């Protein structure tokens, strides 16, 4: 009887976790990913693999083992759900290493938790009710057995070692059987996928959502943990000399595109450089109005005397702000999982601040009014070549706003620090006030967002409007300090705003949006470059991206990119028809075509668009550039994870 109830409880446990996984999947709303019968079997199999051992536990601890596992798995599913709502990705081991950071999302996390998530713990209420009921029932039985004499001690006295051993053996087989069945149900179909359409995916994992599509949630976590252990504790990875030669030859070709001694080369040598990496600053609202009010009036004004790149893409992955920072300053792609700053801060890269410092004697500083440990900046910034990192503790909190200090005060105080620095200087600033969930206090809201009032989309516009005003004040400050006429100002957005509701954008822009429109909207961030003499002002529609910053700034300052290993393009070279911009998801554009990969990540399942007609075309025109795009992501990953630049780079 006791044994039977144990199997019944186990069955209920498997069912409960399975239902949670199904609920979780329903919440993802991931296109192209359906839970097929095979996927359901994988899910059930992986639950069995995670829990078969509980059947080996003696009766005393069995329910506790099963209960704790339920709590653990539920917590994992819930954490993944919250994380996915914000990042459209799953939690990985490197992300867990930044656990403090997830907590620091604070207010954002509240926005990301929905009342319907309570369904995930509905079974706990049932378990509790059942346990209470059983307790009452037992008491009743006990009272009635007291009346006919208590048989308990008699039963206990009959316990002997032989009986114990037999019971242990009796537990061994069911546990083993569940393990084997679980293995067959999960690993079997995954192996089948891996041998057929998903081969490439396991070799070249660039997107966790596609991995999830094959392995399910528990399988994904197993794969991710395994990958982490292999990467960090496995046999030292080595790159075959053939592969290294292929990489070197790719860079020889890249340098041909990057190095061009034309009239802009060195035209601004010795100028200060101020880079503003702006939080969640997207391109779609540049030049747009709401109720007759411009969203970004100061940026728009600045555009008139600057170079503006409307087809500039963020190329970030899971590392968000830190990826934008890394890619812009190293001209390499971020990693498919985690942040380079967290995973490999000790590896060698060719970094813009380091180069400016050693090659041209620049004073280099990073400015970000937040905890210095976030995204591992305390460790990463000295490695990048910054003399000084001004973090939250260096600022007076005289304008508390959102996560930290308001951008207006942040710019004002940063400018004060800058003016005390020796020139020329390289100043890298990261703003924060326009961070999710974009809820500014009433006194800072100066935009009438009309029909969007009170919505997250309206709040987003509001916070960008505030940041824009801060930008205007910074420009005025730079002028006042007499820096404007010998400073290059480089402003770009770090990534999208995580608000993905198409109707919001349609209502705001007043037109229907195609899938291509939407993809571009979510991936384009503005880039503005103001040159000291306001020369070359205009709109540059060629495709460009965050990886282009370092080669382009070095070009303007007259420092050759020749000795370095950069993957981006030089925005000032004439080879505009060779501009392939590759996003971390594997999407790319070369200005002619635009490719959107599918979740399956099979090339043929993706969408290829002709940018001149903006219509979806046959897949073929995307084939060659897609191979190159994959090659680039692969080269970048190999360089970073194997610390290859440490041996390739003679300029250390």
Q: Which residues of this protein are in contact with ligand GP9, per CB under 6 A?
A: 320-321, 368, 370, 374-375, 432, 435
Partner whose footprint covers residue 383, from ligand GP9, Mn ion, none (CB < 5 to 8 Å by kind): none
Nearer to ligand GP9, 438 or 572 (CB): 438
Nearer to ligand GP9, 13 or 395 (CB): 395
Q: Measure the CA–CA gap between 357 and 370, rounded to whole angstroms.
A: 25
CB contact set of 295 (below 8 Å; sequence gap of 6+): 285, 286, 288, 289, 447, 461, 464, 465, 468
Residue 278 host element (H or E): strand 272-278
Nearer to ligand GP9, 247 or 401 (CB): 401
- As measured in angstroms, the least distance from the Cβ of 320 to ligand GP9 is 3
Partner whose footprint covers residue 206, from Mn ion, ligand GP9, none (CB < 5 to 8 Å by kind): none
What are the phi and psi torsion angles at 368 (to 5°)?
Answer: -160, 115
Partner whose footprint covers residue 374, from Mn ion, ligand GP9, none (CB < 5 to 8 Å by kind): ligand GP9
Residue 321 is a binding residue for Mn ion (CB under 5 A): yes
Q: Output DSSP code: residue 619.
A: S
Q: Applying CB under 5 A, which part among 42-50, 351-359, 478-486, 487-495 lies near Mn ion?
A: 487-495
- As measured in angstroms, the least distance from the Cβ of 608 to Mn ion is 30
Strand partners, 275: 428, 490
Q: Measure the CA–CA gap between 224 and 221, rounded to whole angstroms.
A: 5
Partner whose footprint covers residue 90, from ligand GP9, Mn ion, none (CB < 5 to 8 Å by kind): none
Angle ∠(433,439,443) on CA atoms, nearest 5: 85
- As measured in angstroms, the least distance from the Cβ of 389 to ligand GP9 is 12
- As measured in angstroms, the least distance from the Cβ of 296 to Mn ion is 18
- As measured in angstroms, the least distance from the Cβ of 125 to Mn ion is 38
Q: Measure the CA–CA gap between 155 and 169, rounded to whole angstroms.
A: 21
Residue 494 is a binding residue for Mn ion (CB under 5 A): yes
Nearer to ligand GP9, 369 or 571 (CB): 369
Instruction: Indicate the residue whose CB is closest to ligand GP9.
Output: 320
- As measured in angstroms, the least distance from the Cβ of 250 to Mn ion is 30
Nearer to Mn ion, 107 or 423 (CB): 107
**Scanning the structure block, which residue is given the tokens 């080879």?**
575
272-278 vs 487-493, strand pairing mode: parallel
Q: Applying CB under 5 A, which part among 164-172, 242-250, 313-321, 392-400 lies near Mn ion?
A: 313-321
Cβ 497 vs Cβ 539: under 8 Å: no
Partner whose footprint covers residue 370, from ligand GP9, Mn ion, none (CB < 5 to 8 Å by kind): ligand GP9
Instruction: Enumerate long-range contacts of 474-477, CB under 8 Å, 24 or more apart.
Output: 474/276, 474/411, 474/412, 474/415, 475/298, 475/302, 477/411, 477/412, 477/415
Nearer to ligand GP9, 370 or 594 (CB): 370
Q: Measure the CA–CA gap between 335 and 347, rounded to whole angstroms.
A: 13
Q: Applying CB under 5 A, which part among 174-182, 252-260, 490-498, 643-651 lies near Mn ion?
A: 490-498
Encoded tokens for 67: 């209960």
Instruction: Enumerate long-range contacts of 456-460, CB under 8 Å, 24 or more apart.
Output: 456/111, 456/499, 457/499, 457/501, 457/504, 457/508, 460/280, 460/434, 460/497, 460/499
Nearer to Mn ion, 320 or 555 (CB): 320
Site residues (vs Mn ion, CB under 5 A): 279, 320-321, 494
């Amino acid at each position: 009887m006791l044994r039977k109830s144990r199997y019944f409880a186990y069955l209920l446990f498997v069912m409960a976790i399975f239902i949670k996984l199904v609920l979780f999947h329903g919440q993802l709303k991931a296109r192209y990913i359906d839970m097929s019968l095979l996927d359901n079997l994988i899910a059930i199999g992986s639950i069995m693999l995670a829990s078969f051992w509980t059947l080996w536990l003696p009766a005393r601890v069995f329910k506790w083992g099963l209960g704790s596992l339920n709590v653990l798995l539920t917590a994992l599913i819930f954490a993944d759900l919250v994380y996915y709502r914000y990042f459209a990705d799953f939690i990985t081991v490197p992300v867990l290493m930044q656990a403090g950071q997830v907590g620091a999302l604070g207010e954002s996390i509240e926005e990301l938790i929905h009342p319907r998530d309570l369904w995930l713990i509905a079974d706990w209420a049932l378990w509790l009710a059942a346990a209470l009921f059983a307790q009452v029932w037992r008491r009743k039985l006990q009272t009635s057995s007291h009346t006919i004499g208590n048989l308990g001690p008699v039963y206990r006295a009959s316990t002997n070692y032989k009986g114990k051993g037999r019971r242990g053996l009796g537990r061994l087989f069911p546990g083993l059987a569940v393990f084997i069945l679980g293995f067959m149900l999960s690993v079997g179909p995954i192996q089948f996928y891996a041998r057929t359409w998903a081969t490439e995916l396991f070799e070249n994992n660039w997107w966790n959502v596609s991995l999830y599509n094959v392995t399910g949630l528990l399988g994904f976590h197993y794969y991710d943990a395994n990958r982490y252990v292999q990467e960090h504790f496995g046999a030292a990875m080595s790159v075959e000399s053939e592969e290294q030669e292929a990489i070197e030859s790719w860079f020889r070709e890249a340098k041909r595109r990057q190095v061009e001694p034309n009239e802009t080369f060195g035209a601004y040598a010795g100028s200060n450089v101020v880079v503003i990496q702006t939080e969640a600053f997207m391109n779609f609202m540049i030049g747009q109005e709401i109720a007759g009010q411009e969203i970004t009036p100061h940026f728009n004004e600045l555009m008139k005397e600057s170079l503006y790149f409307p087809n500039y893409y963020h190329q970030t992955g899971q590392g968000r702000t830190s990826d934008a920072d890394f890619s812009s300053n190293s001209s390499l792609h971020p990693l498919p999982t985690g942040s380079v700053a967290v995973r490999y801060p000790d590896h060698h890269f060719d970094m813009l601040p380091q180069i400016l410092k050693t090659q041209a004697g620049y004073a280099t500083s990073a400015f970000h009014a937040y905890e210095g440990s976030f995204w591992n900046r305390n460790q990463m910034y000295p490695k990048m070549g910054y003399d000084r990192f001004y973090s939250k503790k260096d600022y007076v909190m005289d304008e508390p706003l959102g996560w930290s200090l308001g951008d207006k005060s942040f710019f004002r105080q940063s400018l004060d620090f800058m003016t005390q620095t020796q020139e020329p200087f390289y100043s890298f600033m990261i703003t924060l006030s326009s961070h999710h969930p974009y809820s500014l206090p009433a006194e800072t809201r100066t935009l009438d967002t009309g029909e969007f009032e009170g919505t997250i989309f309206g709040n987003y516009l509001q916070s960008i409007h505030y940041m824009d005003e801060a930008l205007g004040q910074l420009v005025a400050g730079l002028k006042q300090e007499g820096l404007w006429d010998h400073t290059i100002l480089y402003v770009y957005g770090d990534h999208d705003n995580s608000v993905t509701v198409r109707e919001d954008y349609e209502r705001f822009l007043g037109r229907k949006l195609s899938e291509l429109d939407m993809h571009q909207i979510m991936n384009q961030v503005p880039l503005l470059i103001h040159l000291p003499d306001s020369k070359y002002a205009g709109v540059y529609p060629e495709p460009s991206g965050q990886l282009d910053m370092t080669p382009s700034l070095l070009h303007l300052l007259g420092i050759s990119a020749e000795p370095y290993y950069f993957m981006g393009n030089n925005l000032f070279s004439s080879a505009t028809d060779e501009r392939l911009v590759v996003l971390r998801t594997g999407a790319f554009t070369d200005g002619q075509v635009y490719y959107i990969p599918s979740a399956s990540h099979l090339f043929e399942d993706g969408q290829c668009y002709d940018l001149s007609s903006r219509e979806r075309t046959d897949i073929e025109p995307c084939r060659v550039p897609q191979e190159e795009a994959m090659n680039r992501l692969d080269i970048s990953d190999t360089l970073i994870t194997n610390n290859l630049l440490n041996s390739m780079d003679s300029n250390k």
